[in-house]
Amino acid sequence: MADLHLSHPLRAGLVCALSLGLWACSSQPAAYHRPDAGLPASWSPLGAVNPAALPAPLPWQSLYTDLRLQALIRTALERNHDLRLALARIDEARALWGVQRADQVPTVNVGGSHTGARTPPMVQGNPSAVNVRRYDLGLNLLSFEIDAWGRVASLSEAARMNFQASEEDRRAIRMGLISEVAQAYYVWLEALQRLTLLQQTEHNREQLLALVQRRSDLGAASDLEVVQAQSALFSARAERNAMRRQSEQARSALNLMVGGQWPTQLPEGLPWPLQTMDLTWGADLSSEILLRRPDVRAAEQRLMASNANIHAARAAFLPRLQLTGLLGSANPALGNLLGGGSQAWSLVPGLQQPIFDGGRTEAGLDLAQARKNQFVVNYEKVLQQAFREVADALIARDTLSEQLREQTASLGSLRERERLTSLRLRHGAASLSEWLDTQREVLQAEQSLVQTQRQWLSVSTQLFKALGGGEL
């Protein structure tokens, strides 16, 4: 077989083609693999559960059955400033995606021009003056990159992922807003309920003071007992004023969440004793339910966008093939611009290969990889934080349920003690001071029970949010 001798330019071309092929293979986007955050399979102490048995998302309307609360939530979803800001950010991300996506298609403009020039004699060796007049009309193909290595497509994909992440941010803000409005509503109802208890206590102590004063006029009560009754009344009034201030502040906080204006013609809400929620699911769920939380999905979308940016940074090492062209007509006379024989065209392909840029391209790749590492850590952090939120909410819900049962039983015992002390007071076997102390303990237990009920409701709203419930 004859020896095959390749010329130096041909060998260089083959080496260049082989190098480009290797670069093309190395620049392919790496397959995305979801990071393992090292979470337990479930919150259940019995071990793993079937991930396929995940329940469907629970609509928030089925959890918050109070019609007044539902109206406030709907108003907040329409007027809340944070949610409106999130919508504006989605529009921004969508526009950025559109700008990046436009780089994947040629940009064609229609343009026309007129060129007139006169060159004097002997300037360019011409014996006489040269007059040039030209009219052009056509379609201009602006510089368009042939995306051979997927650089432009990767940038477009990264922009799309960031847009989807902004959509998830909106869902997260919306879900958080629903939970916050419900919690603020329960804080307001708690303040109103405690205010009602204090108003009733104030009324009872007014009657007590009147009774003690009548007994004092008859010589059946001492001045000390009158002072004790007065002190108890003043104390009740002070507590009532403080609680009234808290209730107004709670309503103001609720107003801010619903957009700064309390909606008119609200439906009647449920009374405090009927405020309850049924959210018994959660303890035996797979931790994979966290993957549908919007904040977790947003973190993963940004991680996937960083993966696409790495591919774009790698493709920046490869040659860029760009096309510039024109298709139209050219003629020295405007009237004949569209006539026969005036067709003109040009096609200018260009090839650019980075040789030396001071390390800019390498630094761009290092930057993309560093940002991906940050997004990996952020994704793991968000997922682990989500797991902790659910675990804490489950513990709080269960312990608060037990606490409610104990406080309810304790309140029943205190009320019985108050009744017996009142009977002993009527028969002279107990002092007024003893009866007032018993009444204070009852009032404190009642207020504490209302506060714990509100905490249980708030924890339930947090658990609903933490589990990603409420398809929006």
Mode of pairing for the β-strands spanning 130-146 and 108-119: antiparallel
pLDDT of amino acid 424: 86
pLDDT digits (tens, 9 = 90+) for 56-69: 667 888 888 899 99
pLDDT digits (tens, 9 = 90+) for 163-173: 888 888 888 88
pLDDT of amino acid 1: 38
The C-alpha atoms of residue 354 and residue 318 are separated, in whole angstroms, by 7
Quick one: 371 exposed, middle or buried, by C-beta within 10 A (0-12, 13-18, 19+)? middle
Distance of alpha carbon 297 from the chain centroid: 10
Ranges 262-271, 286-295, 373-382, most confident: 373-382
Rounding to the nearest 10 degrees, give the CA dihedral for residues 408, 413, 417, 423: 90
DSSP 313: H
Q: Is residue 122 predicted with pLDDT exceeding 80?
A: no
The C-alpha atoms of residue 324 and residue 267 are separated, in whole angstroms, by 66
For the stretch 420-429, contacts whose Cβ atoms lie closer than 8 Å and that sit 24 or more positions apart, written own/partner, are none
Q: Is residue 188 predicted with pLDDT exceeding 90?
A: yes
Q: Is residue 451 predicted with pLDDT exceeding 90?
A: yes
Integer angstrom CA distances of residue 255 from 38, 79, 176? 41, 11, 16
* pLDDT level of residue 198 (50, 70, 90 thresholds): very high
- For the domain made up of 37-80+148-318+359-466, give the CATH fold: Outer membrane efflux proteins (OEP) (1.20.1600)
pLDDT digits (tens, 9 = 90+) for 78-96: 887 777 777 777 777 777 7
- Here the tokens at position 407 are 């406080």
Q: Who's near 441: CB < 8 A, 6+ residues apart?
A: 414, 417, 418
| Residue-by-residue DSSP string for 328-386 | EEEESSGGGTTSTT-EEEEEEEEEE----STTHHHHHHHHHHHHHHHHHHHHHHHHHHH
Comparison of pLDDT for 328 and 282, the residue scoring more: 328
* pLDDT level of residue 8 (50, 70, 90 thresholds): very low
pLDDT digits (tens, 9 = 90+) for 296-331: 889 989 888 888 888 788 877 778 777 777 777 777
**Where are the domains positioned within the chain?**
37-80+148-318+359-466
Round the average pLDDT of the chain to a whole number and report it: 79
At residue 131, the 3 state secondary structure works out as strand
